[in-house]
Chain A
């Protein structure tokens, strides 16, 4: 179907029709915001995609586009994928949301899955993980492991996901250790290894001895490793290369099971657009192996906490909880609803400092 003319109507019609893939292979596309070996966020999406491909073998054709800037470029890359006959496309950064929605509207037969956003359409679903459940477990360990009673949190941007993570960490660290305080450092970047390392150093210099990172690279762990005597956690990926210390556990984005099930549903013809927000129970948030550095009893407690989250007997945001200014948020036994969590924009009581805006 070679076209030599640039007739607008023909082009528009072709845009809407897309190309029907000739083979019965399912073609699955992934759009990554960073390089596929960034050691964190994008790498983990990529590895999960590869796992999905291994699961299906020849039944799936995998297309990956890395380092795609958000905005206009993403829209072109998505259109390109849709034109090339891709059946299902995963867009793995919040900033792709509008581009995904635009392209989804033009290609009603292609299915889209957008990570960490909130928009859906007839052929566009979204998916995100309840990382705060993992943060609760990490928070508990952090509270137990700190000797200086100071834990640190390297934060990227002041968005609800990061704020949920800080709150969840602090709430559970505090439960484990009433004397604990949390220092939050905002970097305003997802990825700047040097700055992440400097922030780690700054926290260590302030006497912090357990650090959680909410940025994309392994630089904080590399810095902790060099320094010694400081504990941290894998973020997004297991980062097992830094075990048994400084990495004493990790929050893993387990995208592979989700990718497999979504691709399967496309094969079965049962795929439908929905908003998915899964946690540890559903297998989307993985807790990395507890390293031996953590005392036996703390490991058991953390495991119990994890189990209680899995069987839904416990929700990490359960009252009584006050907002940072002391005003009540959740009453005794009250559980935060998803709507409130999705737009969370305040610290809970006890976290010091202000959320920049």
Chain B
């Protein structure tokens, strides 16, 4: 087995869930639990695909995917933030709607080929032995996903916006009392989460597969949700989690391709068991858990007059 190719494939396989997970992290940091990631991803996949095919430009496609999914997430935002509906139920309904809606708009796009998303030509770096093929021969979106992780980390920990966002997620009543627009901030976070999920979906339909097929996300959105938890709501750990999840899949397939006999089912359930384990270890330590899990996660906010 060639470790260079394995690591390189791992990065591609992990990018959709990484994108979706980093978006969901911001949503959850703002105290909102949106279980509709799967629905937003698949809508992003078809919107991105449709725009890319119509314009023959993959980058416009990625923008279209992000915009489409962000628009869908606004349904969730309106229901949960303005009409104060239950977030768990609304998120599940969003997934149901997204799966159906994407299949509807996608009916004329199955069997088509998207324009190619070329790898970036990064001179010099791409020729470094080992690191070159692993890190520097990818398409733009792989780097965008990494940049987003860095950006989210920097904004959350180093800026006032991040501070406000976290405050809203920790204690919305206190944040409200301090004069922050809780609902507006949350809506913005939901839109960001939707756009990221849409990018992830578009990456699936434009690069990783690349084609449009109904139901093609096949559960990737749920994995993204698991990764956020695995990461204990820390951006860099989201990166680690996504690469670990993607890595196990790719490694599993590569081991099989190389002729090793492995228990496929047990390996497929291992990421979930590992995540539960991480979750337990993390939450058992109460002080650290309190620092990470947003205290208002999933709770509706209503500014009582």
Which residue numbers of A lie inside 8 Å of B, CB to CB? 34-35, 37-39, 152, 183-186, 188-189, 191-199, 201-203, 205-206, 208, 217-219, 222-223, 225-226, 241, 352-354, 356
Residues of B227-260 contacting chain A, CB below 8 A: 249-250, 253-254, 256-260
Q: Give the complex CA separation of A78 and B19 in angstroms.
A: 42
Q: Is there contact, CB below 8 Å, between B253 and A199?
A: yes
* Closest chain A CB from B108 CB (angstroms): 9
The answer to whether A226 and B2 touch (CB under 8 A), given A194-B204, A206-B258, is no
Residues of B208-233 contacting chain A, CB below 8 A: 208-211, 213-218, 220
* Closest chain B CB from A243 CB (angstroms): 12
A selection of 19 A-B contacts at a CB cut-off of 8 Å is A34-B214, A35-B103, A37-B110, A152-B257, A191-B218, A193-B211, A197-B208, A197-B210, A198-B13, A198-B249, A198-B253, A202-B256, A205-B5, A205-B254, A206-B1, A206-B254, A217-B213, A218-B211, A356-B263
Q: Is there contact, CB below 8 Å, between A202 and B253?
A: yes
Q: Is there contact, CB below 8 Å, between A353 and B259?
A: yes
The answer to whether A183 and B261 touch (CB under 8 A), given A202-B253, A225-B113, is no
Is B268's beta carbon under 8 Å from chain A? yes
Which residue numbers of B lie inside 8 Å of A, CB to CB? 1-2, 5-6, 9, 12-13, 16, 103, 107, 110-111, 113, 116, 204, 208-211, 213-218, 220, 249-250, 253-254, 256-261, 263-265, 268
Q: Which residue of B lies closest to A181 (CB)?
A: B259
Q: Is there contact, CB below 8 Å, between A185 and B253?
A: yes
Q: Give the complex CA separation of A316 and B260 in angstroms.
A: 28
Q: Is there contact, CB below 8 Å, between A219 and B209?
A: yes
Interface centre among A183, A186, A202 (most CB of B within 10 A): A202
Q: Give the complex CA separation of A196 and B218 in angstroms.
A: 11
* Closest chain B CB from A65 CB (angstroms): 15
* Chain A residues whose C-beta falls within 8 Å of the C-beta of B214 in the assembled complex: 34-35, 37-38
With A35-B103, A202-B253, A241-B111 already in contact, 7 other A-B pairs whose C-beta atoms are closer than 8 Å? A186-B256, A188-B265, A194-B220, A198-B253, A201-B9, A201-B253, A353-B260
Q: Which residue of B lies closest to A222 (CB)?
A: B211
* Closest chain A CB from B207 CB (angstroms): 8
The answer to whether A194 and B16 touch (CB under 8 A), given A38-B214, A205-B5, A222-B211, is yes
Q: Is there contact, CB below 8 Å, between B208 and A194?
A: yes
Q: Give the complex CA separation of A35 and B212 in angstroms.
A: 13
> Which of A186, A198, A205, A352 is close to B259, meaning CB atoms less than 8 Å apart?
A352
Q: Which residue of B lies closest to A220 (CB)?
A: B209
Q: Is there contact, CB below 8 Å, between B107 and A37?
A: yes
* Closest chain B CB from A287 CB (angstroms): 21
Q: Is there contact, CB below 8 Å, between A185 and B210?
A: no
Q: Is there contact, CB below 8 Å, between A195 and B249?
A: yes
7 nearest interchain CB pairs? A202-B253, A205-B5, A192-B218, A206-B257, A185-B256, A354-B261, A202-B254
* Chain A residues whose C-beta falls within 8 Å of the C-beta of B113 in the assembled complex: 222, 225, 241
> Which of B209, B216, B257 is close to A223, meaning CB atoms less than 8 Å apart?
B209
Q: Is there contact, CB below 8 Å, between A353 and B256?
A: yes
* Closest chain A CB from B80 CB (angstroms): 29
> Which of A191, A202, A356 is close to B264, meaning CB atoms less than 8 Å apart?
A356
* Chain A residues whose C-beta falls within 8 Å of the C-beta of B9 in the assembled complex: 198, 201-202, 205
* Chain B residues whose C-beta falls within 8 Å of the C-beta of A353 in the assembled complex: 256, 259-261
Q: Is there contact, CB below 8 Å, between B110 and A197?
A: no
Q: Is there contact, CB below 8 Å, between A38 and B213?
A: yes
* Closest chain B CB from A104 CB (angstroms): 30
Q: Which residue of B lies closest to A217 (CB)?
A: B213
* Chain A residues whose C-beta falls within 8 Å of the C-beta of B6 in the assembled complex: 205
* Chain B residues whose C-beta falls within 8 Å of the C-beta of A196 in the assembled complex: 209
Q: Which residue of A lies closest to B251 (CB)?
A: A202
Q: Give the complex CA separation of A356 and B214 in angstroms.
A: 29
Q: Give the complex CA separation of A287 and B257 in angstroms.
A: 27
* Chain B residues whose C-beta falls within 8 Å of the C-beta of A185 in the assembled complex: 253, 256-257
Q: Give the complex CA separation of A195 and B223 in angstroms.
A: 14
* Chain B residues whose C-beta falls within 8 Å of the C-beta of A225 in the assembled complex: 113
Q: Is there contact, CB below 8 Å, between B107 and A205?
A: no
The answer to whether A219 and B257 touch (CB under 8 A), given A202-B250, A241-B113, is no
Q: Is there contact, CB below 8 Å, between A194 and B218?
A: yes
Q: Is there contact, CB below 8 Å, between A39 and B111?
A: yes
Q: Is there contact, CB below 8 Å, between A208 and B257?
A: yes
Q: Give the complex CA separation of A270 and B229 in angstroms.
A: 62
Q: Is there contact, CB below 8 Å, between A197 and B256?
A: no
* Chain A residues whose C-beta falls within 8 Å of the C-beta of B13 in the assembled complex: 194, 198, 201
* Chain B residues whose C-beta falls within 8 Å of the C-beta of A241 in the assembled complex: 111, 113
